[in-house]
């Protein structure tokens, strides 16, 4: 079962996750992080930025993004390459040559998935994967129906996801229809999954992923197959969890020696 961490605010959630990542990086300067885009991980990157300003060295950390839009120029401010550069690389002072994002350019799109899988294989494995969850239940951009064995490949975004992400663009028409995303099988290979969710809008997908049946109709439920998952949520995102009392009880009785 995933460990459920109830955070009072997004900032508090960011602190919990950043403090754990800081410990990993301090212990192994070559830590391999899996990074997500969108709004959810921003408090983590902000808190990591503060650690970097306090002297934590991220220059040998590698990072692998979950996904990228297809056909959006990398220089576009909403390409995930641009977002990861601005929100993560610049915040923590990572070495851009160690930060990887799937190649969404149309010219070589047929091989984008296998090229990214080869890069991930050469990394030696992701130590900690940060995840958000979409209102459709996607993790990465694995929309409902994605195979639990899927690897990095081109996927078609659902209309709901395009609507959700239209807030980052001037209009819905500008939101790409396709993406390259790590598969559920790729994500499940990471050593530790840390899924964050904030707000009422995520409550249903979160409860279904944590407590519902394991089903490709709810891609987030793939986390139930992983041996080490931490779910960090605010009260609103946690509001539909059936076993909330138990999660609070477990948190109150968490052994001091147990980390995240």
How far is 127 from 57, CA to CA, in rounded Å?
17
Please report how close the Cβ of residue 68 comes to ligand F6R at its closest, in angstroms.
9
Whose Cβ is closer to ligand F6R: residue 24's or residue 66's? Answer: 66
Whose Cβ is closer to ligand F6R: residue 49's or residue 140's? Answer: 140
Whose Cβ is closer to ligand F6R: residue 56's or residue 197's? Answer: 197
Please report how close the Cβ of residue 203 comes to ligand F6R at its closest, in angstroms.
13
Please report how close the Cβ of residue 145 comes to ligand F6R at its closest, in angstroms.
15
Please report how close the Cβ of residue 83 comes to ligand F6R at its closest, in angstroms.
8
148-151: list long-range contacts, CB under 8 Å, 24+ apart: 148/184, 148/185, 148/188, 148/216, 148/222, 148/225, 149/183, 149/184, 149/185, 150/183, 150/184, 150/185, 150/186, 151/113, 151/117, 151/182, 151/183, 151/185, 151/186
Contact residues for ligand F6R, defined by CB under 6 A: 36-40, 66-67, 132-134, 138-141
Whose Cβ is closer to ligand F6R: residue 56's or residue 112's? Answer: 112
How far is 32 from 128, CA to CA, in rounded Å?
7
């Amino acid at each position: 079962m995933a460990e459920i961490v109830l955070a009072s605010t997004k900032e508090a959630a960011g602190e919990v996750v950043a403090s754990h990542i800081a410990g990993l990086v301090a212990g192994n300067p070559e830590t391999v992080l899996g990074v997500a885009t969108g709004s959810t991980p921003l408090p983590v990157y902000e808190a990591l930025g503060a650690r970097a300003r306090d002297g934590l060295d991220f220059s040998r950390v590698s990072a692998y993004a979950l996904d990228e839009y297809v056909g959006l120029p990398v220089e576009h401010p909403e390409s995930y390459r641009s977002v990861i550069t601005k929100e993560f690389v610049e915040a923590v002072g990572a070495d851009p040559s160690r930060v990887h994002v799937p190649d969404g350019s149309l010219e070589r799109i047929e091989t984008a998935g296998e090229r990214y899988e080869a890069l991930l294989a050469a990394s030696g494995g992701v130590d900690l994967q940060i995840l958000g969850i979409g209102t459709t239940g996607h993790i990465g951009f694995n929309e409902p129906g994605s195979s639990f064995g899927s690897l990095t490949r081109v996927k078609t975004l659902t209309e709901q996801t395009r609507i959700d992400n239209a807030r980052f663009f001037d209009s819905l028409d500008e939101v790409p229809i396709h993406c390259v995303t790590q598969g559920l099988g790729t994500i499940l290979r990471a050593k530790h999954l840390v899924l964050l969710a904030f707000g009422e809008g995520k409550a249903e997908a979160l409860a279904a992923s944590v407590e519902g049946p394991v089903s490709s109709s709810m891609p987030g439920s793939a986390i139930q197959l992983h041996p080490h998952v931490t779910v960090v949520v605010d009260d609103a995102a946690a509001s539909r969890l059936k076993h909330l009392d138990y999660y609070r009880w477990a948190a109150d009785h968490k052994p001091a020696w147990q980390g995240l």
